[in-house]
């Protein structure tokens, strides 16, 4: 394997690990702060602020979950070798 190919492969592996680690941290944060979200957003009168909080939290959660779905198109896909 040439140095360039090894570098690309290392970058591919590191990007997958990094994305998975970030998604795990987002999910962990969501789980430990869910009680605060219920109190702050859902048990009070609905306002634009509660809408913005809920929207940003749920959008980040959905993005983290889709990052972890196997079989999705990978933007860092290892390029196929063409002869």
The pLDDT tens digits for 7-25 are 776 776 667 788 888 888 9
3-class secondary structure, 78: coil
Whole-number pLDDT of residue 74: 57
Give CA separation, 34 vs 54, 58, 64, 71, 82, in Å.
11, 11, 16, 29, 49
Whole-number pLDDT of residue 83: 52
The pLDDT tens digits for 22-74 are 888 989 999 999 999 899 888 989 899 999 999 999 999 898 888 777 665 55
pTM of the model: 0.64
């Amino acid at each position: 394997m040439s140095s360039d190919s090894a570098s690309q492969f290392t970058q591919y592996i590191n990007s997958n690990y990094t994305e998975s680690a970030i998604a795990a941290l987002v999910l962990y944060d969501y789980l430990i702060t869910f009680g605060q979200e219920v109190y702050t957003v859902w048990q009070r009168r609905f306002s634009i602020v509660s809408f913005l909080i809920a929207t940003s939290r749920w959008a980040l959660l959905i993005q983290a979950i889709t990052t972890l779905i196997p079989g999705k198109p990978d933007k860092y896909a290892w390029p196929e070798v063409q002869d």
